[in-house]
Amino acid sequence: MQTQLLKVHILAALLLTIALVSCKKDKDTEQELITTVVVHLTATDGSFEQEFEWDDRDGDGGAAPVIDEIIIPAGKTFNCQVFFYDRSKTPEEDITEEVETENAEHLLVYSVSGANLTIAAADTDDNGKPFRLKTVWTTAAASNGTVKVSLRHEPDKDAANPDTTGDVDAEAEFVVKVQ
Amino acid sequence: MIAGKARFWGACWLACTALPVFAQDCHIALRGKIMDDDTREPLAFASVFVQEADKGAVSDENGYFIVPDLCEGATYTVTVKHVECDHETRVVRLTENTLLEFYLHHSQVLKEVIVTEKSVAAAPAQAAVSVSGNELAATQGVNLGETLKKLPGVTLLNTGATIAKPVIQGLHSNRIAIIANNVALEGQQWGAEHAPEIDPFTADRISVVKGAAGVRYGVGAMAGAIVLEPAELRRNAGIGGWLSLGGFSNGLGGVASGALDWHLPGRSLTFRLQGTAKRSGALRAPDYWLGNTAAAEFDFSALAGWKSGRWTHQVTASRFTQRLGVLRAAHTGNLTDLRRAIESDVPLQNADSFTYRIGRPYQSVQHQLLQYKTGVRLSEKWKLSGQYSFQYNYRREYDVVRKTGSAAEKPQISFRLWSNTLDVALEHFPIQHWEGGIGIQGIQQLNYVGRGGYIPDFQTYGGSVWALERWRRYPHPWEYEIGARFDYRRSDVSYAEGTFLPPGTARDTSVHFSNASATGGIIYHFAKYGRVALHSGYAWRPPHVYELFARGVHFSSATYEEGNRRMRPEKAWNSNLSLEWQAPRLSATLTFFRNAVQDFIYLNPSADSVLTVRGAFPVYRYRQDNAVLQGIDAGASWQVFSAWSVEGRASVLRAFRRVHDPASDKQRKEWLPLMPADRFQYGVKWQKPGSKGQAGETYVRLLATAVLCQTRLPAEGLLKAAPDAFTVFSLEAAHTFRLGYKTEDHPAGQTLEIGLNIQNMTNRRYREYLNFFRFFADEPGVNVGLRARWQF
């Protein structure tokens, strides 16, 4: 009788524990990795169209990123659009759509050094604030330098200088040759 | 890893007291221990007489006595006499094998007899401090770290205001063991921003053992152990428990915790249900809200204990769940962002308003435990105990994301850890004044890292064998402890050719480590109230998989961290010398310690950087050098007048590593980073005369904590200078009311304790060096906490 009762108690305790321990089905993690930044340039006169890639498909560390040099003719105007991809996945994920959908939460920042290149915004976000996924690039005389394309998340677009607010989601630096 | 020996001793005692339980009615033994109430030392040659049975016994040199063959259910009058003390009489109803503790008093006052079945395990010979009662209750509602930081030699490593890890004499995380109810916590303690998965309300007493404690508490207790002991289960039939409620002004937080114990009438079966719920909103620093520092916690545990013949059994199941908001301002994308955040005086990206909402980034932690322990009394002197535990730890980290919809619900990193441990120990009560035991332990662990984690999956197996003995012969002034242990650990890792293999693939990279540990201690009781203890221990820790294989950007420090497969185990040789004086009006402890760590593993900045899609990050690599951590922990309290007492505590640490300098081809000393600055605490306490330790205790205590600026810093790798010295004040007050209800458990009436706790009374603006988020924001401002605890 005594042992029977004990068994019942043990069983009850075990069942309770199993109920506590049984866990939810595994939810996989969701990575928001950007491996690739593509700068698509089209000359307004139709004489030039090319894509330049900053590509690190194995993610942070490991193999070094493969970076194209942006070689563009001098004295021209280009329409530029930037694309972002996650190529660590198969098939690759186009992150540009997400960025466009949440345009108020994103801001692209370009910084040019050395090259005779000016970049002007060609779009705004849904609130009429800067977004700069699409820009107009104008080259002057032949020169060499760099251009850094940054994608910032959750910027404060009302700040005096919104370009330094928010967090960097991607920052790709290219060598630029205007010739 | 392992349940420490001490717990075995505890379990052993639990069972031993249940000792020769025969089924017959009149074969119950009354066991007990007689101690001096002032010195807490055992009293030998005290006579025990059981009137109704006309039986007697004399206590041995350790204060123990046994009166066999008494009848179950009968009521006995037990009288204890000792030549130096007043005699004591107690009426006991024997329902099972009973352990009585008698505290005899030298004066004429008759003291209350406490009937307990608690662990009489010898405390470790090494330096240890503990917190219980009012002191524990004062901060129990915050977190484990906050509860411990009042103890000398214990500091906190914070990641913002919500995440705190205890640091013992400068070391933390995998270098200390956390033992709750006899089980070593197998969580994700390797990460500096991973807080211990422990509900402090489950503990009745929390002890901190300082120095190498590997023999007692297993691999990893290289720098010490934190031991949480739950309250004993009810021994008499009926229902009892407590309910505790608390509220905090900063963050408008609330906490409710309660426990219910039920001992079935007529059976040796007891249940306990315990639960804690906690919720708090965004905290406030003196000048601004700390955006996204809300937190939520829900913990639950169930416990059952019973006895059957010579066997004792206990089953425990517990669940800990927590969601911790992480300061939004601490989330930066790359090194440029981080530098800008550091240079700013106020937190950037900060939602400067109060909310209970826990937004991204946040951590979600779940810990579950299933434990079964048992003990069987083999003979008068020997006892066998065993324990099996299963732990499941699930940790998810949610980053700031761009996605919306269902994808936005998912974490960015997840870690899951399954641990199975088995312990078997054979222990004995004093034989020729030696008390101790031998045991074996086994562990199996599976660690599954979701995609994106910066460590690979791994599976670990381990085994240990240990022996520990303690010699004590009252009133001989010397006491000795000696122990040894051998451990083996093997990990199979999903790693090949510099890449982490996808989950589920063969774990074909194996690493294995083994080492011996040893401990030795001598205690000399030089006076009635004074003792000096010298302890030396050798302990080790195998390198964790993250130190071997980690690879990835650590965003909170904007560094790219890289493990090194060729790491050797860390070995620590720790010595401490303690002077203790425990007199009624003056108690003082002074501990000198030196911890020499061979092959100390640390992150070292390198000249390299790695280019990622968020920009370039400096590369930090795990390295090993010999290190020394030494210092002084001191604490004293002196009752100046009957109501007034003063107290003081100091923790001083010097920690450096010896680095090979290629220029001069010599070893040079370099300070270790993230070591606690010198810390002093002073206090004054008013206590209603005569209320000490009694129900009805009333006190007010004012404490000042002064922390100096950490000036001993490594030359490289610093992002920002250490913050300035500061002094903060806190106030604690409590009063215990007697409620009218008189019950069998509370003959004088149930108690209601009301407490007030004010942290950072002057609302001072300050930053702590040991807080990773000192770069971004100040510490929280004034916090007024109120609590009530009803014991029924």
Place of tokens 């100040």: B778
Asked if B586 reaches chain A (Cβ–Cβ under 8 Å), the answer is no
* Least Cα separation, residue B549 to chain A (angstroms): 13
Asked if B304 reaches chain A (Cβ–Cβ under 8 Å), the answer is yes
Touching B: A residues 2-41, CB under 8 Å: 2-3, 5-6, 9-10, 13-14, 16-17, 20-21, 23, 27-37
CB burial class (10 A; 0-12, 13-18, 19+) of residue A7? exposed
CATH topology of domain B225-791: Maltoporin; Chain A (2.40.170)
Distance of CA A27 to the CA centre of its chain: 24
**Can you tell me the distance from the alpha carbon of B321 to that of B395, in angstroms, rounded to the nearest whole number?**
10
Q: What is the pLDDT of residue A49?
A: 95
Instruction: Provide the ipTM.
Output: 0.81
Asked if B522 reaches chain A (Cβ–Cβ under 8 Å), the answer is no
Search chain B and give the residue with CA nearest A106: B402
Contact yes or no for A14 and B315 at CB 8 A: yes
Contact yes or no for B336 and A20 at CB 8 A: no
Tell me which of B268, B402, B410, B621 to substitute to probe the interface with A (most A C-beta atoms closer than 10 Å).
B402
Asked if B743 reaches chain A (Cβ–Cβ under 8 Å), the answer is no
Contact yes or no for A28 and B450 at CB 8 A: yes
What H or E segment, with its residue span, contains residue A9? helix A2-21
pLDDT of A32-47, one tens digit each? 789 999 999 999 999 9
Contact yes or no for A31 and B412 at CB 8 A: yes
Q: What is the pLDDT of residue B691?
A: 57
Query: What does the angle CA B218 – CA B221 – CA B226 come to, to the nearest 5 degrees?
Result: 105
pLDDT of A133-153, one tens digit each? 999 999 999 999 999 999 999
Search chain A and give the residue with CA nearest B371: A17
Place of tokens 């004040």: B729
Here the contacts of A38-42 (C-beta below 8 Å, separation 24 or greater) are A38/A82, A38/A83, A38/A84, A38/A85, A39/A70, A39/A80, A39/A82, A39/A149, A39/A174, A40/A80, A40/A81, A40/A82, A40/A83, A41/A70, A41/A72, A41/A78, A41/A79, A41/A80, A41/A137, A42/A78, A42/A79, A42/A80
Nearest CB to A64; choose among B401, B453, B611:
B611
Please give the average pLDDT of every successive group of 10 residues along chain B, which has 792 residues.
40 36 56 73 80 80 80 76 70 67 54 29 68 79 80 88 90 92 89 89 89 85 90 84 94 95 88 96 96 95 90 94 92 85 89 92 94 89 92 91 74 90 90 90 90 79 94 84 94 76 68 93 89 92 90 80 90 93 90 95 86 87 94 94 92 93 87 93 88 67 95 84 94 86 73 92 95 92 94 87
* Least Cα separation, residue A47 to chain B (angstroms): 31
Q: What is the pLDDT of residue B632?
A: 96
A10-14, A76-80, B44-48, B283-287: the lowest-pLDDT one: A10-14
Locate the domains of chain B by residue range.
5-115, 128-224, 225-791
DSSP helix/strand/coil, B551 = strand
**Can you tell me the distance from the alpha carbon of B751 to that of B742, in angstroms, rounded to the nearest whole number?**
10
CATH number of B128-224: 2.170.130.10
Instruction: For the beta carbon of residue B468, count every other beta carbon within 10 angstroms.
Output: 26
Q: Are B357 and B294 in contact (CB under 8 A)?
A: yes
Task: Give percent helix, percent strand, percent coil of chain B, each to the nearest 5.
Answer: 10, 55, 40
* Least Cα separation, residue A168 to chain B (angstroms): 4
Contact yes or no for B392 and A95 at CB 8 A: no
Q: What is the pLDDT of residue B451?
A: 64
CATH topology of domain B5-115: Immunoglobulin-like (2.60.40)
Query: What does the angle CA B368 – CA B370 – CA B373 come to, to the nearest 5 degrees?
Result: 150
Asked if B22 reaches chain A (Cβ–Cβ under 8 Å), the answer is no
Contact yes or no for A21 and B300 at CB 8 A: no
* Least Cα separation, residue A28 to chain B (angstroms): 7
Nearest CB to B410; choose among A14, A28, A95:
A28
Counting every residue, how long is chain B? 792
Nearest CB to A167; choose among B400, B560, B613:
B400
Mind listing the domains of chain A with CATH numbers? 31-178 (2.60.40)
Place of tokens 């595994």: A26
Structure tokens at B203: 């503990």
* Contacts A21 to B, Cβ<8 Å: 317, 368, 370, 390, 392
**Can you tell me the distance from the alpha carbon of B667 to that of B659, in angstroms, rounded to the nearest whole number?**
5
Q: What is the pLDDT of residue B626?
A: 95
For residue A24, name the pLDDT band (cuts at 50, 70, 90): very low
Structure tokens at B552: 């990835």
* Contacts B366 to A, Cβ<8 Å: 23
**Can you tell me the distance from the alpha carbon of B313 to that of A31, in angstroms, rounded to the nearest whole number?**
46
Q: Are B792 and B241 in contact (CB under 8 A)?
A: yes
What H or E segment, with its residue span, contains residue A84? strand A77-86
* Contacts A87 to B, Cβ<8 Å: none
Q: What is the pLDDT of residue A11?
A: 56
* Contacts A56 to B, Cβ<8 Å: 611-613
Q: What residues contact A141, with CB distance under 8 A and at least 6 apart? A: A74, A75, A116, A178
Distance of CA B385 to the CA centre of its chain: 23
**Can you tell me the distance from the alpha carbon of B622 to that of B606, in angstroms, rounded to the nearest whole number?**
10
Q: What is the pLDDT of residue B225?
A: 92
Q: Parallel, antiparallel, or unpaired for β B679-687 and B698-707?
A: antiparallel
Asked if A152 reaches chain B (Cβ–Cβ under 8 Å), the answer is yes
Q: Are B142 and B539 in contact (CB under 8 A)?
A: no
| B128-224 has the same fold as B5-115 | no
Q: What is the mean pLDDT of residues A163-178?
A: 93
Search chain A and give the residue with CA nearest B331: A167
Asked if B552 reaches chain A (Cβ–Cβ under 8 Å), the answer is yes
